[in-house]
């Protein structure tokens, strides 16, 4: 049997969205970035808004996101993606504009831009990949690094007294009236991938409805930075990251969920 006999339209159960380019992903095997890219692109495909979408790539492991996401994209400087997105959206209010940012990008160097874009209620969608570490630069401590967690700049574990507490940016921006939909998801299991995708859809729908800023945090792994194999990294994430960064909606339709 030739491969062409197998690949027939009627046998097709799953297909890579054409909104992902054919370029091989540059991420480490097992990294959550790739899955997050895919579901984001699937949402844009399903909503039929590819020609109306402009994405903003960060500085971090996903700096080359525009190599993989087949939409018009701009690369921002480290942390400034929400400002770049603001500039685009203010001039093109009819376009869908999103940022895709890591925790160092969004919650350290870009804290001011994140908070103020959310506070102004910029009608954009922020996809926030929280892996508790600076993946790109080789595993340094991030604002979201857990207490006691070892990184290359906290080799004896994060010491709260001298290094501060891990920052829950998502809960923080949920307090701002400008945000409409704020949620925390993960992509480590098929069920979670489905939920995360639904969340991204909700975020883009709220952008469509001009409801204000929507932010989807995805708690993700960094097996290279954490120095764990992919499966062990996911287990570590479930055991250690989720208790501090609990999954679920934090704000829906402008209202905080569960007395957040």
Partner 1 sequence: MKELKLMKGNEAAAEGAIRAGADGYFGYPITPQSEVMEYLMAEQPEKRTGMVVLQAESELAAINMVYGAASTGKKAMTSSSSPGISLMQEGISYLAGAELPCLILNVVRGGPGLGTIQPSQADYFQSTKGGGHGDYRLIVLAPSSVQEMFDFAFLGFDLAFKYRNPVLMLSDGLIGQMMEKVELREQLPRTTYFDRSWTLTGKPDGQERNIVTSLDLDASRQEVHNQHLQEKYRKCQANEVRYELLNTEDAEYLFVAYGSSARICQKAIQLGREEGIKIGLLRPITLWPYPAKPLAELAPGMKGILSVEQSAGQMVEDVRLSVGCGVHIEHFGRMGGMIPTPEEVLENLKKLLITK
Ligand X SMILES: Cc1ncc(C[n+]2csc(CCOP(=O)(O)OP(=O)(O)O)c2C)c(N)n1
Enumerate binding residues for ligand X (CB under 6 A). Answer: 59-62, 78, 102-105, 129, 131, 133-137, 142, 222
**Residue of the chain from 42, 45, 72, 205 that contacts partner 1 (CB under 8 A):** 72
221 lies in the binding site for Mg ion (CB under 5 A)? no
* Count, residues near partner 1 per rule CB under 8 A: 33
Among positions 224, 234, 237, 250, the unique one binding ligand SF4 when judged by CB under 6 A: 224
* One-letter-per-residue 3-state SS of the chain: CCHHHHCCHHHCCCCCCCCECCCCCCCCCCCHHHHHHHHHHHHHHHHCCHHHEEEEECCCHHHHHHHHECCEEEECCCCCHHHHHHHHHHHCCCCEEEEEEEHHHHHHHCHHHHHHHHHHCCCCEEEEEECCEECCCCCEECCCCCCCCCECCECCCCCHHHHCCCCCHHHHHHCCCCEEEEEEEECCCHHHHHHHHHHHHHHHHHHHCCCCEEEEEEECCCHHHHCCCHHHHHHHHHHHHHHHCCCEEEEECCEECCCC
Q: Check binding of 41 to ligand SF4 (CB under 6 A).
A: no
Out of 70, 131, 145, 206, the residue judged to bind Mg ion by CB under 5 A: 131
Q: Which of residues 83-112 bind partner 1 (CB under 8 A)?
A: 83-88, 90-92, 95-96, 112
Q: Considering the rule CB under 6 A, would residue 135 count as an interface residue with ligand SF4?
A: yes
28 binds, among ligand X, ligand SF4, Mg ion, none (CB under 5 to 8 A by kind): ligand SF4
Asked if 103 touches Mg ion (CB under 5 A), the answer is: yes
Least Cβ distance, residue 53 to partner 1 (angstroms): 6
The footprint of Mg ion (CB under 5 A) covers: 102-103, 131
The footprint of partner 1 (CB under 8 A) covers: 50-54, 56-57, 63-64, 66, 70-77, 80, 83-88, 90-92, 95-96, 112-113, 116
């Amino acid at each position: 049997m030739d491969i062409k006999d197998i690949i027939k339209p009627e046998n097709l159960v799953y297909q890579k969205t054409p909104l992902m380019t054919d370029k091989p992903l540059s991420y480490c095997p097992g990294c959550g970035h790739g899955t997050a890219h895919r579901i984001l692109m699937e949402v844009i495909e399903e909503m039929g808004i590819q020609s109306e979408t402009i994405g903003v790539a960060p500085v971090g492991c996903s700096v080359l996101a525009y190599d993989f996401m087949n939409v018009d994209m701009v690369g921002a400087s480290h942390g400034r993606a929400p400002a770049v997105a603001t500039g685009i959206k203010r001039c093109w209010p009819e376009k869908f504009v999103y940022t895709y940012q890591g925790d160092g990008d969004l919650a350290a160097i870009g804290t001011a831009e994140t908070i103020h874009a959310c506070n102004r209620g910029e009608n954009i969608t922020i996809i926030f990949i929280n892996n508790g570490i600076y993946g790109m630069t080789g595993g340094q401590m991030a604002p979201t690094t857990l207490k006691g967690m070892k990184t290359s700049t906290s080799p004896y574990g994060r010491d709260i007294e001298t290094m501060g507490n891990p920052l829950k940016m998502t809960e923080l921006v949920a307090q701002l009236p400008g945000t409409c939909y704020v949620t925390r998801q993960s992509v480590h299991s098929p069920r979670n991938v489905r939920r995360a995708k639904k969340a991204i859809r909700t975020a883009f729908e709220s952008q469509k409805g001009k409801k204000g800023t929507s932010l989807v945090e995805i708690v993700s792994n960094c097996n290279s930075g954490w120095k764990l194999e992919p499966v062990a990294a996911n287990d570590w994430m479930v055991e250690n990251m989720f208790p501090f960064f609990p999954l679920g909606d934090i704000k829906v339709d402008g209202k905080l969920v569960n007395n957040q």
